Structure 1
């Protein structure tokens, strides 16, 4: 009986991967590579759902997802492998600050040199091209080297939020908010300039420790933020979930003409005998489903792995989609692989997360 169940899981999983491949290739930032009208979503949906092929494929994908989830919760296969994987991820917890600094420092430097403001579709018109470019390059290098890390992250957060009020199209790069907040919570980690300078300043009899007040301010800020550090997975998960769901809705389901233009531009419908409408619906619904799963903390590590798979497919399928624009999302997804769901997640209710062990980000999670 166990063998039959395991084979069923493999078959359903294979079907799901096929549907995911179709939708994943068409995913990505349509605003970065497409041009034209957004279109009428109601008319698009009515026309698309009149095609039996589209309805059948979407129904098969939905049933496949539900079947995989139900079978997994009943059978719990590969429990030993999953437990070992979680322990390995816990061992990487000390690398989370470094991972986040790279994931958001490099795109800032790239944005500064390329001449856009946080997102490739947004030009630096608020304060002028040169000041905004210099600001992003300086902020990116501070994060990259880990110098005044928390202050740099909070500065970037404030600038992005104020810029968002004037430029709503920055919503298409919403991952900057959880990214900056996460870096402010975890700090610079090691290796970093902050860690090196703080060690020198804390040593007895050092000249630098006598003249530099910065490390005292850094300790003060770290002490104020430390109680909220345990919410890092929750903030990353919710921020990434909102970003995913927004992209699925705003760039695909509510902008069908623009999305169909991208499908035609890259000849995606010519690769397989799949209607262009299915590419758009598959991508939009997949991103929305992933967003909701991350938002509520449902199979968080599996959802993060799926997100990484979708990102990778996008980079190969849409060569004009700027790679740097996705690095922040890559780092957030990788962070969730390490930390798990964190507090206030559905995973903690259904037993889809392991014991906290020594994980500094999920300690006392089971109490929530």
Structure 2
């Protein structure tokens, strides 16, 4: 059942990558620089510098040490176990989180005069505000998510390859479509009216429920975290590789504009390479479901740093990424992931015992 969903998701990812052209990136929000540059020049500048190689090597060793330490000791630390259980307990609020994460930015984009991404200044106010408000109310939620997804795909395939920057909307629309409205929502209120004998709407009790139809097609809520991971991870990879590595001069213009080398005293080339590497690494971790909650937390930190470090960057453009990263902290990797298939065995090889028992609070 879930396999059908995953095949469909994988096909959509492949189509999105195939459609990728020289799209604008988040750096377009804060600079108009279009100076030429190549990925070869960027890599040559970084890997010919002993200082850069030393910093990258040291960073890699530090990340590996932290990862091994987490795998070795996380099972015996009560704080981590309590945090994990607490995050998992937020699952009933997941549909609302997703609706807010998509609905609010859509309303804002409609009134701001751009289509999904600030890089696409197309006025579609009525459409986006309508979809956004319907999602916020939780009315005909799955239909609204499907309309939003079709609108995004039509615009991307038509004439706006820049919309690859807003690929997180695909993750959000798919997750909402798979999970449904949840509560609080208008759909849930209407469903309870239908289920209650004596109401006017109770005459519709015999109609099939949307989730039953989707389940028969193999589209279950269990696939929603996988869709979130795949498309959010692909988005981070795209931002890191295409935006930073394939457009190094444009990214370097951002470094120069905000004097970021004064914050971290390294060369502009290393700044660009490191930023791209970090985003791409987070994307790969999310895509493969490796240490998913940690990767989602890292994505949240990256977004927060961008928000405060680049004052011209529109906050609204990042709300969806903030919300979906938070949702992955709640769901974890779910199925078809390294976390599920590999990490438990690896932790056992490292000598990790059973999970700690949560002590009662006082």
TM-score bracket, normalised by the shorter chain, equals: 0.7 to 0.9
> Do the aligned partners of 1:31 and 1:251 also contact (CA within 8 Å) in 2?
no
Could you report, residue by residue, the CA deviation over 1:13-57 in whole angstroms, capped at 9, with x for unpaired residues?
xxxxxxxxxxxxxxx922322222252121122123222222221
Q: How does 1:195-206 map to 2 (within 5 A)?
A: 195-206=188-199
Match of 1:120 among 94, 118, 121: 118
Q: CA deviation at 1:83?
A: 2.0
Q: After TM superposition, list the pairs within 5 Å mapping 1:1-368 onto structure 2.
A: 29-37=26-34, 38-76=36-74, 78-124=76-122, 129=123, 132-166=124-158, 167-210=160-203, 219-226=208-215, 227=218, 228-348=220-340, 349-351=342-344
Counterpart-to-counterpart distance in 2, 1:336 and 1:345: 13
- For 1:82 and 1:329, locate their aligned partners in 2 and report how far apart those are by CA, in whole Å: 24
Change (3 A) 1:343 1:104: same
CA contact 1:30–1:259 (8 Å) conserved in 2: yes
TM-score by length of 2: 0.83
Distance 2:262 2:236 in 1: 27
The unaligned stretches of length 5 or more in structure 2 are: 1-24, 348-353, 356-362
Q: Distance in 2 between matches of 1:154 and 1:216?
A: 24
TM-superposed CA distance for 1:267, in Å, is 1.5
- Cα distance in 2 for partners of 1:186, 1:281 equals 37
Q: Deviations over 1:310-354 (max 9, x none)?
A: 111110001111111111111111111111110011011212899
1:54–1:277: 8 Å Cα contact kept in structure 2?
Answer: no
Flag the 1:269–1:73 CA change in 2: closer, same or farther, 3 A: same
Higher mean displacement: 34-43 or 280-289 = 34-43
For the structure 1 residues 75 and 119, does the alpha-carbon distance in structure 2 shift closer, same or farther, using more than 3 Å as the test? same
Quickly say closer, same or farther: Cα 1:53–1:99, change in 2 above 3 A.
same
User: SS at the partner of 1:81?
Assistant: helix
Unaligned runs of at least 5 residues, structure 1: 1-27, 356-368
What is the alpha-carbon distance in structure 2 between the residues aligned to residue 222 and residue 84 of structure 1?
A: 32
Q: 1:78, CA displacement in angstroms?
A: 4.8
* Alpha-carbon shift at residue 112 of structure 1 (Å): 0.3
User: What SS does the aligned partner of 2:244 have?
Assistant: helix
Task: State the distance in 1 between where 2:260 and 2:297 align.
Answer: 24
- Measured on the aligned residues, the alpha-carbon RMSD in Å equals 2.1
Residue correspondences, number: 318
